[in-house]
Amino acid sequence: MNSKDPNIRERALYLFSPKRGAEAYNRRMQKEQEKEALGSPGRGRSGMETPRMSYGSHGASRTLNSLIGWVIEAGDAEDNIDLYSSTLRQRARDLYAGGGLARSGPQTLTTSVVGWGIQPKPKIDGDFLGMSDEQREEAERNILREFRLWAENSMCDAERQQNFYGLQNLAFLSMLMSGDVFALFGMKENRRTPYQTTIRLLEADRVCNPDSSGDSESRETESGGRIIDGVEIDREGAVIKYHIASRSPNAGSNNAELTWTAIDAFGRDTGYPNILHVMTFERPEQRRGIPFVSAEIEQLKQFTRYMNAELAANVVSSMLTAFIVSDEDDGKFGLEDAVNDEDKVTDDELQIELAPGAIYNLPPGKKIETVNPLRSNTQFESFVNTCIMTIASSMGIPKEVLVKKYESNYTAARAALLDFWRTVRLYRTRFNNAFNQPVYEQWLSEAVATGRIDAPGFFDDPAVRQAWCGCIWMGASMGHVDPLKEVNAAAARIQNNISTQEQEASEYNGNNFDEIMKQRKKEIALQRELAEEAGTLPGGNEPENDTDDEDDEEKEDE
């Protein structure tokens, strides 16, 4: 029997003094009731029983004064995202058109992720296909040569405007600006390339529910599925169709009849995608993307208003306009002489236009009363920097990268770039999986079907097809704060077998290691040839004299 049991102590105390025993019992029952009110007890590090607090007492509390006014809208991804996608797109585009941080964020990310183009490097699984290294390398060179024939020509664009790398840039920027973008595959014959595969980029507004415009409720289908903002899903939630309008429902300049066409997400015979939906996922069961600046729309709009107000106030203050008040009426209002005719923006004589150094004559009895809001600009820079830092962190872009201003030392600047580059690699990987690789596989299927590329078993076995479609995509590198330090670090990684020359060359400037070695081989051979013609080798040594060699051989014979 445990001597520390409170019941034993109470019974022992009751034998000596019934009154004190009853008081001890009452005190213990009161403490147990208090623990139950705070939650079930737990034990701390000291072994003492402590009340265990829950989220109901903190973040989920409905009684705290600081949380009573917190009104939330609970719901799934459709309720919180898909039903508001049209409004978010319009506001995000308006902010982008106005410039500032709302434009810098998407442009900075697009420039870093896509740059001048994400280049493919075919990587065939030669071991699975039973190919030697020479055969695999030859096949990869042939595939890359054929892909460039298609990708570097504007015939790959259904609108005949941009090549494949231009479509990359436009698709990624549109995804950030509008939340998502659609790429529709097609076939169109041309005389400039042997390939007919084309890509047509569709703006997000054109995918919407039939007979609707803007934000609209989802609707049920006859098969038991649903159509959510133009994306049709079956009963299990799989995307099966996209409903595409003949034009943007919000287009005011195009009065053509608005019709909708349902496009199957995948081909019924081939299983290949007919349309690509490039978007950023935030929640499960999300059907439409949200713009890149959606979380900062309110902050960006308020920040823009504040900056415009400060700019306007300073412009008005810089005018230094003077007004002359006279006691006698001379018949002149004085407006025609204050502002030059070519600088006037209105013909209304009752409106006064401000101009630098302008002087106005006012009628008798008329005076100008100014309102000074007494704005304190002493903390202007600190306040603006704080706002920028908050917006930049919400975008996932370091402040230095977003505003293109590096004021710190080398370590801090490189840390900012490294942090930003993790975001770049994440977006690039997603974009490669959602756009570049599917487009590459679609083109390769046509190249094999037309006999331009010999790939035995490509259409017979999915595993063989995957082995032929292997490809890595290389984009622009991070850039360099101190190139010498980074080159030395790369050499050390190669020497310690941490990295390879091919990987370092790709990450340093995005170039192809094989192409570099071929070019270097030519340059070294040409350099040696020029040195031999000049009579000196590259190291400054005299070339060997064949005559002297012959004399030495004769001496050895003798």
Answer whether residue 125 shows pLDDT above 90. Answer: yes
Answer whether residue 79 shows pLDDT above 90. Answer: no
Answer whether residue 50 shows pLDDT above 60. Answer: no
- Tokens 């994400």 locate to 118
Answer whether residue 141 shows pLDDT above 90. Answer: yes
Q: What is the pLDDT of residue 328?
A: 64
Closest listed residue to residue 198, CA positions, set 275, 117, 139, 264: 275
In angstroms, what CA-CA distances link 215 with 231, 235, 246, 486, 545? 13, 23, 18, 50, 85
Answer whether residue 371 shows pLDDT above 60. Answer: no
Band of the pLDDT at 42, cuts 50, 70, 90? very low
Answer whether residue 244 shows pLDDT above 70. Answer: yes
Angle at CA of residue 320, ends 317 and 326, nearest 5°: 130
Q: What is the CB neighbour count within 10 angstroms for residue 106?
A: 22
Q: Which residues contact 413 (CB under 8 A, 6 or more apart)?
A: 400, 406, 481
Band of the pLDDT at 216, cuts 50, 70, 90? low
- The pLDDT > 70 percentage for the chain reads 75
Q: What is the pLDDT of residue 477?
A: 78
Average pLDDT, the chain: 81
Dist. CA 259–CA 281, nearest whole Å: 29
Answer whether residue 499 shows pLDDT above 60. Answer: yes
Distance of CA 313 to the CA centre of its chain: 35
Q: Where are the beta strands (DSSP E) in 27-112?
A: 41-43, 49-51
Q: Reduced to 3 states, what is the DSSP secondary structure of residue 273?
A: strand
**pLDDT tens track for 395-435:** 999 998 898 887 777 788 888 888 999 999 999 999 999 99
Dist. CA 500–CA 221, nearest whole Å: 54
Dist. CA 334–CA 169, nearest whole Å: 55
Least confident of 49-63, 163-177, 470-484: 49-63
Dist. CA 145–CA 138, nearest whole Å: 11
Dist. CA 196–CA 187, nearest whole Å: 5
Closest listed residue to residue 401, CA positions, set 165, 67, 107: 107
In total, the chain counts a number of residues equal to 558
Cβ atoms 103, 111 nearer than 8 A:
no
Q: What is the CB neighbour count within 10 angstroms for residue 286?
A: 20
Return the higher-pLDDT residue of 428 and 481.
428
- The pLDDT > 90 percentage for the chain reads 41
Q: What is the pLDDT of residue 103?
A: 93
Dist. CA 165–CA 118, nearest whole Å: 7
Least confident of 67-76, 141-150, 343-352: 343-352
Return the higher-pLDDT residue of 500 and 152.
152
Least confident of 114-118, 284-288, 341-345: 341-345
Answer whether residue 214 shows pLDDT above 90. Answer: no
Least confident of 121-135, 292-306, 310-324, 474-488: 310-324
Both tokens of 463, joined, read 């595993």
- Tokens 């309720």 locate to 79
Q: Where are the beta strands (DSSP E) in 136-264?
A: 180-187, 197-202, 219-220, 226-228, 231-233, 239-245, 260-264
Return the higher-pLDDT residue of 1 and 228.
228
Return the higher-pLDDT residue of 368 and 1.
368
Both tokens of 268, joined, read 């019924």
Answer whether residue 356 shows pLDDT above 80. Answer: no
Q: What is the CB neighbour count within 10 angstroms for residue 397?
A: 24
Answer whether residue 139 shows pLDDT above 80. Answer: yes
Burial class (CB within 10 angstroms; exposed 0-12, middle 13-18, buried 19+) of 289: buried
Residue 247 phi/psi, 5-degree rounding, is -155, 175
Answer whether residue 319 shows pLDDT above 80. Answer: no
Closest listed residue to residue 205, CA positions, set 293, 76, 97, 88: 88
Answer whether residue 366 shows pLDDT above 80. Answer: no
Q: Highest mean pLDDT range out of 86-90, 316-320, 327-331?
A: 86-90
Closest listed residue to residue 81, CA positions, set 180, 2, 170, 202: 180
Cβ atoms 293, 102 nearer than 8 A:
yes
Answer whether residue 104 shows pLDDT above 90. Answer: yes
Cβ atoms 168, 436 nearer than 8 A:
yes
Closest listed residue to residue 175, CA positions, set 109, 129, 219: 109
Q: What is the pLDDT of residue 1?
A: 44
Q: What is the pLDDT of residue 341?
A: 59
What H or E segment, with its residue span, contains residue 322?
Answer: strand 322-325
Q: What is the pLDDT of residue 493?
A: 87
Dihedral angle of Cα 314, 317, 318, 319, to the nearest 10 degrees: 130
Closest listed residue to residue 304, CA positions, set 99, 557, 46: 99
Answer whether residue 2 shows pLDDT above 50. Answer: no
Answer whether residue 90 shows pLDDT above 50. Answer: yes
Q: Which residues contact 452 (CB under 8 A, 6 or more apart)?
A: 146, 194, 195
Answer whether residue 44 shows pLDDT above 50. Answer: no
Band of the pLDDT at 551, cuts 50, 70, 90? low
Q: What is the pLDDT of residue 202?
A: 95
Dist. CA 138–CA 454, nearest whole Å: 11
